[in-house]
Amino acid sequence: MHRRLFLISAAGLMTGCRAEPPMAGQLDPVFDPARLSSRLQVVAGRAAPAVLGVGLLDGQTGQLLGFNGDRPFPLQDLSRLAIVAAVLAEVDAGKLSLSEPVIVRDIDLSPPPSPVAEAWPGRTAYTIGDLVDRTLSTADNTAADLLMKRIGGPGAVSAWLELKDISGLHLDRYARQREPEINAMASFRSDWKGEAAFERQRLAVEPKDRSAALQAYLTDGRDTVTPLAAVRFLDALRAGQLLSPASTGKLLGLMALHRPGGDRLAAALPAGSILTHQTGNVRPDPGMAAATSDIGIISLLDGRQFVVATFLGASSASDQVRSALITEVGRTILAEARA
């Protein structure tokens, strides 16, 4: 889909357009880029020294804007959307069935959160469909890793994203690899399953080593996404460009059930609005949250839709303050939208 691009950043305003003719309505954009940039800069100032990143697309005109939009942020929980989408694409292609059985072994377990790992060995039998649902409904790392392994690993997901022309979204490791690495831990073992056991092992690592590992993660290009890439991914999903209608409906339905609480973007919405979204976090330590995010599709009662991706990187603020900053971004966007 061709779109005029209105790109704004904390460093300054950049406006450009593709060579193709603009879509209908794009010469009368919903958002004033300079004014929105100025208002987001105020939020960014309150978030400092954390880094604010925002991607925004107006579903009616295709107007696309970014505040630090091309800056990479840790992918974390948002990886699950890409994994499930790639799995459903295999289902659409007839290469995989949601009813295919999966047996979970001790070597398949991944770090928390993972109800599948905590249920092991009491329960070992699942289906691909079970794992798809659990990957998003309970943010299950074991389910996500098993799905990704079944379709060929991180490289297969990356190849599918490239095929769909989604650039700026990098998925490079399994959760069982990534989570120990960013906490300076040894390779994950099955007896670390569950929050309490994993946290004991994590806290056994010297704080300076954990801090160094987390700082390295913030500059590591692996497992990252830009706000604009997140928006393009969700817009392509919304438009039915990634999956069949049935699979699109399934994935969006799972996202609509995502209810981590009424904060972040959800707290910015007027009554009657629908938020189809995915939140993300990096385990805070020591005294810093490497990433806090919320990406989603906002559907208003009047029929308008906005695709929004908001990221906070390297914040020492409390979870409540970080959530409030993301809420402020959402309110700013809706206030600036011209009906």
Residue 272 has pLDDT above 50, yes or no: yes
Using CA atoms, how far apart are residues 191 and 256, in angstroms rounded to an integer?
34
Domains 4-71+226-336 and 78-217 share a fold: yes
- Whether domain 78-217 has CATH 3.40.630.70: the reply is no
In the prediction, which pLDDT does 261 show? 58
Residue 29 has pLDDT above 70, yes or no: yes
**pLDDT for 129-154, tens place per residue?**
999 999 999 999 999 999 999 999 99
Distance linking the first and last C-alpha atoms of the chain:
23
Percentage above 70 pLDDT, the chain: 90
Kindly indicate the confidence band of residue 5, based on its pLDDT and cuts at 50, 70 and 90. Answer: very low
Kindly indicate the confidence band of residue 1, based on its pLDDT and cuts at 50, 70 and 90. Answer: very low
Residue 305 pairs in a beta bridge with 299
- Comparing 289 with 118, which gets the higher pLDDT? 118
Residue 288 has pLDDT above 80, yes or no: yes
Tokens of 240: 């039915």
Q: Mean pLDDT in the chain?
A: 91
- Say which range, 131-140, 171-180, 283-292, has the weakest mean pLDDT: 283-292
Over residues 41-57, the mean pLDDT reads 98
Residue 234 has pLDDT above 60, yes or no: yes
- Comparing 83 with 19, which gets the higher pLDDT? 83
Q: How many CA atoms lie within 13 A of 65 on its CB side?
A: 30
Pick the CATH number of 4-71+226-336 from 3.40.710.10, 1.10.150.120, 1.10.3210.10, 3.30.700.30: 3.40.710.10
Residue 120 has pLDDT above 80, yes or no: yes
**pLDDT for 246-260, tens place per residue?**
999 999 999 998 666
Q: What are phi and psi of 188, to 5 degrees?
A: -65, 140
Residue 16 has pLDDT above 50, yes or no: no
In the prediction, which pLDDT does 283 show? 84
In the prediction, which pLDDT does 259 show? 64
Residue 17 has pLDDT above 70, yes or no: no
Residue 274 has pLDDT above 70, yes or no: yes
Over residues 18-25, the mean pLDDT reads 37
Positive or negative, the CA dihedral 81, 159, 128, 242 is positive
Percentage above 90 pLDDT, the chain: 84
Over residues 230-258, the mean pLDDT reads 96
Kindly indicate the confidence band of residue 27, based on its pLDDT and cuts at 50, 70 and 90. Answer: low
**pLDDT for 187-205, tens place per residue?**
999 999 999 999 999 999 9
In the prediction, which pLDDT does 4 show? 36
Kindly indicate the confidence band of residue 76, based on its pLDDT and cuts at 50, 70 and 90. Answer: confident
Over residues 170-182, the mean pLDDT reads 97
Residue 87 has pLDDT above 60, yes or no: yes
Q: What 3-state class would DSSP assign to 21?
A: coil
Over residues 24-30, the mean pLDDT reads 63
Is 313:111 a contact under the CB 8 Å cutoff?
no
Domain ranges for the chain: 4-71+226-336, 78-217
- Spatial neighbors of 100 by CB under 8 A, at least 6 apart, are 127, 128
Write the DSSP symbol of residue 173. S
Q: Beta 289-299 vs 274-281: how paired, if at all? A: antiparallel
